[in-house]
Structures are given as structure tokens and as C-alpha cells.
Structure 1
Amino acid sequence: MHGHLPEGYLADALRRDAAFGLTSAPKWLPPKWFYDARGSTLFEEITRLPEYYPTRAEREILERHAADVAATLPAHTLIELGSGSSEKTRLLLDALRAAGTLERYVPVDVSEPALVEAAEALLREYPGLAVDAVVSDFDAELGIPDEPGPKLVAFLGGTLGNLNPDERAAFLAAVRAKLRTGDGLLLGADLVKDPEVLVRAYDDAQGVTADFNRNVLRVLNRELDGDFDVERFEHVALWNSEQEWIEMRLRSRGDQAVKLRDLDLAVEFADGEELRTEISAKFRVSGLTMELERAGFVVSRWWTDRENRFGVALAMPF
């Protein structure tokens, strides 16, 4: 286990994000603060909902094409950014082990407990595999080890879509700077499709996503001594056709005044005022290919699920 985060990093980052985002116009918060223990459990529940297709679609792609990934890039080291439970990663691990090339797996995540749990399970399941977990936040430090390749960096789950275009460009350039000829980036991306399908994926009939969205307010209440009345905020999911992304928001039901005592901050919400909590960009093959090329990558292989809902790109540095 390696740590790239200074002591108190996450607490300080939350304080900065809350102070800046809640005093901006319009108000906003980064989506990473959904994911305390309760938020992570809720998201796992979301991935099993009938409306939420991305996880199933990406898994279908990996089930069908992990062997193609291993054949195209016979990596010695697999590095996964935002690894979480490393569940889908097992398909890549199996393929690379079957190809006889894999020596090391490097899961990178901001949550040390999640890393410990996943690493211990993988060590049991894959005897002889070196697992070097890295606690890091790619907002600050990618956590990609500088070592001989070939190495494959996996960034799955469509998390790239949570970044705006400038942030995506900076992220992809930072990944490119860590790679050499013979290395590669395996990137998951949700694709543009019928807006009704997209909105349903972020506004399910059971209300699980609504609970997940409001969880960020519970995190602020607990960590910053806040007094958000969580149930007085309505979950909103909408399609921004100009930016081609889904936006999740929390809409105030009535005028409200909220205090975050740890920040000595008072925040007022007008009736109907919205707090944006997430963007989730959806991609077109041509657009994502262009973004990767600007960062110094060429797309070597591109796969989609059978319904063309989700894509996985294997990109090589040039």
C-alpha cells in the first residue's frame, strides 16, 4: 500500500470545494463527495437497476473483448484509476494472465478501505500476482508508477464524463505524460443516445438515484457540521443538448438558509434554486478520438456493446 495523499488532504479538499461551490453562482459541488460508505452502497444498487445500463454494457464489452485487449497490448502491469472494488477488472486480469504477460496490478483509488478490501480479495484469487495499491486522488496526483512497460492504464466506468472539456484535456495530457511507447490507455465512455434513455438512467423509478444525489448533503452535514434539511431538496436529472451531458441537480423546495458551522458559512437557497452535483458527458466516437489525439494518443481499437450504448477505447501514445 502506497499513499500519495498528505494527512488531512480529503478533509481540506471537501472544505475548499464546499466553500467555493456553495458561494458560486450557480451553486455546484463535485460528484466525488457522493461516495462515503452509504453513497458507495447506493451507487452499487444503482448499477443493478434496470434503467442504469452503463455498468452492464461495459461489462459486456469486457467479457467479449478482454482477450483482444490482452492480445493488442500484452501488458506486464495493469494500473486502474478509480479502481473501487476492482470488480470488472477481474476480466482484464484473467485475460492478461491467460496471455502470460501480467505480473503486477496497481489499483489507484481515493478510498484506502476500498483498496485494502479489494487488494486482499485479489491476492487470494490470484496467487503470485503482485498487488501494489496506491491511495491517490487524480485531481492532485494520478498515482501512475514510473516504471518500464508495457503497462496498461484502465480508466473505466465512464468517469471521464464527470470532467468538463478543459478538465478532460488536462487529465488525458497528464496520463499521456506518464506513458511511453508500448504502453496504453483503456478508456470507458458512455455514448450519446436517446435523451429519454439517458434521463431514465439518472432518474430511476425506485428513487435510488435521488437518494444517492441527496447523499452529498448528508456528507456535508456530517463532515462540516451542516444543517441541510435533506428532504427539502428535490432530485433533478436533465439532458443538456448543447453540451451533450446529463446534469444532476438538487432543487430547493422553498426558501432555505443553511449553515456549515465548520466553515463559518451561511448559504441561502431561494425556492426552486438548484445546486448542480454532477455532470456526466456522453461521447461520440469522432469527438472522443479527437480529444485523445489532442492529448497525444491514437485510438488503436474501439469496441461497443451490442446495442451501441457504451464504448471502450484502447489508445496508444504517439
Structure 2
Amino acid sequence: MQHTFIPTQYFRTIGTHPAALTVNDGDEVAMWCVDAHGIDGNDQTVTPAGNPMSGPIAVNGLVAGDVLAVTITNMHPLRPHGWSYPTLAGNVVDPEYIGAVPYAPGSKLPKEYWDLDTTTGTVQSRGTHGMRVTAPYRPMVGCFGVAPARGEAVSTATSGPHGGNMDVRFFGVGCTVYFPVSVAGGLFFAGDAHFVQGCGEIGGTGVESAMRIDVRLAKAQMERITWPRAEDDDYLYTVGNARPLDQALQHATSEMHRMLIACGADGTSAAVIMSQLIEYHIGNVFDPAYTVVAKIAKSVLRTHGLQSTFR
């Protein structure tokens, strides 16, 4: 079944808020989402800034220990423009170099506006602050996840085992992301959509815009997981969210080892494959918890007779 979800309330925490919509296993939902500053498709501020989330959506039958599979089937811009900050975060450059970065930490940041050209599949900055920059239109979801365990409500500024503000640039159309379920129904939230974003979100934003995010929500056919996992046509991914960065890498690496064992590898073979063929990407390094993503090409798994998909 297909559902349309236009929120009347938004959340800046991901937690056990009452479900705004309840769906069945495998249902599809078109979710209207405001941008990170609470601005909708009509350029109206409808809720305070801080990655306001649409949701939560409960899935009938999900219980703690299950895994929720969220497939992003499409993303539709609700307005033809977005915005970013024309700076770099102070924590991603050398301390002695901060003075060379435009708009020092703590100063009021202006917005650089970008226009979407659906004909060319690009977004272009208006050049108000610096030169005009053209980037490919690669929409992705910056912040999404499920209610954490123990009744926690976690700020949408950060991330954890439940997901959250991971800002992984390839969590876009065609990707399935797997979240560990901690409460009945899962309670899924999403928002903070970007037209495009580089690895790390090192300026503090992608190209932020209001978007409709279309998802399919289903119980995944996999055992309990510790950290989010994902897959697209070409790769399997595991995510670690923590600070410092090496702890996030440890979480992502441990989860990938567990995932390869679930694919049919023994522990030693999984380690050998990972040692030579793993790849890493950086998600959010702007907010309190950093995100590291480990990935293995599905072609590697097929070559070795291992399971290469959980969809």
C-alpha cells in the first residue's frame, strides 16, 4: 500500500514519540520533509531549525531485535533551490589555519543559494559568496533512523546505533539502509535532505532543501544487527557513529566483519577479504558524533560464492 505523509509536527530528537502514521510491512510512504532550518517548499519557516524530522512512522509487527529495511525509492525537490554555508568547519582544518577560513567559527554565516536545473541534472551556486560552482544533482538523505533503546531521545544533530545525522552522500535513491529496531514498530524518522553533498559535510551543510522522500519500509530478513548497514546495486555498507573518528572506524569495521559472516564467510576468510578489499568513506565530521562507512563491492562477494544481497 502507498501512503502520503505530510507532517503537522516535526521533531528535533529521534525517540519514542507517538507514531504519526502506522503502516504495514512492505508499504511505501511519500514523506514531505522541510530543510535543516525548518523551511518548507514554499520558502516558509514552519518549524525551528535543527534538522527537524518528519515522523515517526511505525511498521506493524516490528519488535525489538528486528531490522528495519528502508529503501529510498525516489526523492523529489519541493522547491527549485537550496542553500549552503560558504565556509569550512573549524575542526576539519589545522588549528593554525582557522584564520584563513572564511567566516571564522562563531561568526554569523551567510547563505549561498543554489539553483536546481533538472534538464542538465546539476545544481549551480549563484556566486554571491565566491565563484559560481556547478555540481551534479545527487539527492541524499542526511538524517534518518529509528527510535533508540531505553526510551532515549537523541538530538538530530548527532548519530548513533539508531542512525541519525550521518550525512552519508550515497544514501540516496536506490539505496536500502538497515536499522536495528529497539522499540515496537521501529518508529522511523527522516529529514535533512540535500541536493548534493561532499564527503564529511565539512562546511556544516550540503545543499539544503525541502524534499519529498519516498521510502519502502519492510522487515529485513537478517539477524539482529548492532550498527546501521546498507546496500545498493554495487556495494554492501556498514556504518559506525562515534567520536573520536577511530572509534567510528572500529564500529564500522566490526559490523562489516559480522556482515560478511552473515554472507557465508568464516571469520578468517572475512578478515582476509576485508584486509585487502575493504573501502572506507567519511560521513558527517561536523557534528558531535563522526560517521565512518565501510564498504565491500558485491562483485567481490559473488566471486567468492558469498551472499551479496539482503533485499
Q: Identify the TM-score tier after normalising by the shorter chain.
A: under 0.3
Q: Give the TM-score normalised by the residue count of structure 1.
A: 0.26
Structure of higher CA gyration radius:
1
Question: Which structure shows the bigger proportion of residues in helix conformation?
Answer: 1
